[in-house]
Amino acid sequence: MKSIVLSDNRNSTVLPETEHGLSVYLDRGAYKVILDTGASDLCIRNAQKLDLDLETLDYIFISHGHADHIGGLTALLEINSKAKVLLSPEALSQRFFSNRKCLREIGIQLLADQYPGRFVFVNEDIFIEPDFQIIKPKKLGFPLPKGNRHLSKDSGKGREPDDFNHELMACFGTEESFVYCGCAHHGLLNILQSIGNKTNKSIRAVLGGFHLLDSDEHNTYEIEKELAALAEFLKTMYPDTRFYTGHCTGSEVYAFLKQKLGAQLELFHTGYKIELTN
């Protein structure tokens, strides 16, 4: 399995252009997937720089309905005429907002009917391929990211806190799982436990943002005591799992967790590559 980050907040010398978004290209050999599309067509432009042909994609997986993960979808559908779009129906049927810094809409307006036969709406855990499973995470009592408090939605009855009923996880592998967690709005530990309960497979690697924001003069998010508890839980319960994070994981949060987790945790950026055998 080969994967490469096409869109992220952090850049590299290979792909210097960034955006507040996340998109990851994954080649399983038998099929190819793009995991989220970032906020714009940057994933397409960066793929071209790396000689990756997105016209041959088999699947487009959307982890949730926020524009930094689905904003490039329309542009991608214009160049790819065959890939199935895998997402929750709530990702398109609701409007999404953030009040961080200022109130703004963070969803997209897209009608699936304009692309007949292209959309597969996922309402429950399903297998897409024998080694590709989509899982709806559950809230199992572990903490939710404190940054979630800025996020809301409107499903037709006015704005209310976002409960992330539109969030999905992608899991790959036959013997062990490689997990793509998008922004992990359900909380990393709830997600890991949900996947473990469903697959009964060990989790070899996790890639995605953890939605652990850096505190500032206006907002306090996870404090060091809470981050230390998270790191200790990961070290104890998932000692053999590698974690690759970026996007909505703050730089100060990452530095703190890196001190605790060492080689278990790595920071990704545009152009970041991961190769695993499974």
pLDDT in tens, 185-216: 999 999 999 999 999 899 999 999 999 999 99
Q: Averaged over 67-72, what is the pLDDT?
A: 98
pLDDT > 90 fraction of the chain, expressed in percent and rounded: 97
Q: Averaged over 32-48, what is the pLDDT?
A: 98
Query: Do 276 and 38 contact (CB within 8 A), yes or no?
Result: no
Amino acid 278: pLDDT: 60
Q: Averaged over 70-92, what is the pLDDT?
A: 97
Query: In CATH, what number is assigned to the domain containing residue 109?
Result: 3.60.15.10
pTM for this prediction = 0.97
Among 65-74, 159-168, 193-202, whose mean pLDDT is lowest? 193-202
Tell me the CA distances in angstroms from 94 to 105, 165, 265, one per residue in order.
11, 10, 34
Is the per-residue pLDDT at 41 higher than 80? yes
Amino acid 8: pLDDT: 98
Amino acid 126: pLDDT: 97
pLDDT tens per residue across span 47-60: 999 999 999 999 99
Give how many domains the chain has, as a whole number: 1
Range of the domain at 122: 2-275
Q: Averaged over 29-33, what is the pLDDT?
A: 97
Q: Averaged over 219-238, what is the pLDDT?
A: 98
Amino acid 276: pLDDT: 85
Mean residue pLDDT across the chain: 96
pLDDT tens per residue across span 235-251: 999 999 999 999 999 99
Query: Following DSSP, what letter does each residue of 179-234 receive, concatenated?
Result: EE-TT-TT-HHHHHHHHHHHH--EEEEEES---BPPP-SS---S-HHHHHHHHHHH
* Side-chain-side CA neighbours of residue 146 (13 Å): 13
Amino acid 190: pLDDT: 98
